[in-house]
Structure 1
């Protein structure tokens, strides 16, 4: 179980580092949006490239931060239900959720995304708009990389759930499941 905890910590560090680093794209996104607004409002100049860059940066920011958000428990959950559950029940739900839903979904996106991205790379795909951005493969690659990072985070969370459920008490205490604040269902 110690190896599993260590493995989980390494995976979590990787996904967190990628998420924190890519979060800096928010500054570029803000600057691009501000430029687009200023050019449109005061100079009546519209730019397809700026608009496409906005959604590329937004997509990149979202995709590359998925794993980080997941490891920090910052994703959407049904709190009305989960907050009433005991820590062990939440850990079981996490374990089965990762095994039955999240990891297979990530695997499917990676499997089919590979062809999607390789086609884009092979043909040096560009925007459908004549004045749009070239190199569409960049943002399409972010889909595969982002889901890969989410898969890394899911494996880390799965390992933590296993340690919490089947490890010794001192090992279980080092997982995020033991640090969840007690709610109505916890005793």
Structure 2
């Protein structure tokens, strides 16, 4: 079980590092938006390249940080229901969600996304606008990369939840942070429930 947690921590480190670096795309994104708005307001015209660069940066930011958000448990949830569940129940729901939803969906996107990017690269795909950006395959490649990172994050969360549900009590504190069981009181209550 400790090996599973070490594997999960290693995956977390990779996904987190990519997510933190990708989060820096917010800076050029903001600067590009501000420059585009100023140019439109005072320059009298917009730029298609700037507009496309904005959504390219936004797509890269979103796709490369998606897995990081899942590891940090910062994605959208129905907290009204989830927060009233016991940590063990949360962990079981996460495991089922990872196995039945996240990993298969990511597998499909990776399978079809590879061909999607390869065709774009081979055809030297460019923007449909005559003054748009070239090398469309670069932005398209963030889709399979992003879903690959999300699959890694899903595997990491599954491993943590698995250890929390089926592992020894001494590992639950480390494994249980994702399901909100990091407080000793929660762990003590959960241990008492498991003995009953």
User: Do these two structures clear the TM 0.5 threshold for a shared fold by scoring above it?
Assistant: yes
Write the deviation string for residues 121-147 of structure 1: whole angstroms up to 9, x where unpaired: 111111011110000000100011111
The CA distance in 1 between the partners of 2:77 and 2:102, in whole Å, is 13
Write the deviation string for residues 59-98 of structure 1: whole angstroms up to 9, x where unpaired: 1000000011000000001111101100000000000000
Residue of structure 1 in register with 2:7 after alignment: 7
Residue of structure 1 in register with 2:69 after alignment: 69
Question: How many residues are paired up?
Answer: 184
Shift of 1:19: 0.2
SS in 1 for 2:124: coil
Residue of structure 2 in register with 1:35 after alignment: 35
Give ranges in structure 1 of 5+ residues lacking alignment: none
The CA distance in 2 between the partners of 1:46 and 1:8, in whole Å, is 46
Determine which structure has the larger helix proportion and give its number. 2
RMSD, aligned CA: 1.4
Residue of structure 2 in register with 1:179 after alignment: 182
Structure with larger RCO (C-alpha < 8 A, sep 6+): 1
Shift of 1:46: 1.1
SS in 1 for 2:150: helix
The CA distance in 1 between the partners of 2:35 and 2:182, in whole Å, is 43
SS in 2 for 1:173: helix
Residue of structure 2 in register with 1:118 after alignment: 118
SS in 1 for 2:132: coil
SS in 1 for 2:174: coil
